[in-house]
Amino acid sequence: MIDFDHVTRTYGPRTAVADLSLSIPRGELFALLGPNGAGKTTTIRMLVGLLHPSRGAIRVCGHDLVSNPRAAHLHIGYVPDEPCLYDKLTGREFLWFIADMFGMPRHLAGARIDREIEHFELGEFADDLAERYSLGMKQRLVFAASLLHDPDVLVLDEPMVGLDPRSVRIVKDLLAARTREGMTVFMSTHTLAMAEEMADRVGIMVRGQLRFLGTLAELREQMTLETTTLEQMYLELTAPRGTAS
Ligand code: ATP
pTM for the full model?
0.91
CA-wise closest residue to 207 among 13, 11, 17: 17
Q: Which atom of ligand 1 is nearest to the CA of 42?
A: 11
Same domain, 63 and 112: no
Domain carrying residue 133: 81-150
- Both 6 and 31 in one domain: the answer is yes
Reading the chain (245 residues) residue by residue, the pLDDT tens digits are 899 999 999 999 999 999 999 999 999 999 999 999 999 999 999 999 999 999 999 999 999 999 999 899 999 999 998 888 888 999 999 999 999 999 999 999 999 999 999 999 999 999 999 999 988 889 999 999 999 999 999 999 988 877 888 888 888 988 999 999 999 999 999 888 888 889 999 999 999 999 999 988 888 777 766 666 788 888 888 887 655 44
Predicted local distance difference test score (pLDDT) of residue 216 = 84
- Asked if 101 and 136 sit in the same domain, the reply is yes
Q: Is the CB of 82 under 6 A from ligand 1?
A: no
Give me the pLDDT at residue 100, please: 94
Q: Any idea what DSSP says for residue 87?
A: T
**If you write DSSP's letter for every residue of 92-155 in order, what string do you get?**
HHHHHHHHHHTT--HHHHHHHHHHHHHHTT-TTTTTSBGGG--HHHHHHHHHHHHHTT--SEEE
Residue 187 domain-assigned (yes or no): yes
The total of structural domains in the chain comes to: 2
Residue 170 domain-assigned (yes or no): no
Q: Which of 133, 150, 167 is the last residue of a domain?
A: 150
What separation in Å is there between the alpha carbon of 41 and the centre of ligand 1? 7
Q: Is residue 169 part of a domain?
A: no
Mutating to test ligand 1, I would choose from 32, 33, 40 the residue with most ligand atoms within 8 A of its C-beta, which is 40
Amino acid identity of residue 188, one-letter, is S
| Alpha carbons 72 and 184: distance in angstroms, whole number | 14
Same domain, yes or no, for 67 and 86?
Answer: no
Q: What is the CATH number of the domain that holds 29?
A: 3.40.50.300
- Ligand 1 and 227: CB distance under 6 A: no
Q: Is residue 177 part of a domain?
A: no
Instruction: Please answer whether residues 194 and 230 qualify as being in contact, where contact means their C-beta atoms are separated by less than 8 angstroms.
Output: no
- Asked whether residue 111 is assigned to any structural domain, the reply reads yes
- As a residue count, the chain comes to 245
> Shortest CA distance to 141 belongs to which of 167, 107, 106, 105?
167
Does 228 lie in the same domain as 109?
no
In a domain, residue 164? The reply is no
Residues 71 and 186 in one domain: yes
Q: Pocket of ligand 1, candidates 7, 9, 11: which has the most ligand atoms within 8 Å of its Cβ, to mutate? A: 11
Q: Are residues 201 and 186 in the same domain?
A: yes
- Domain-embedded: residue 172: no
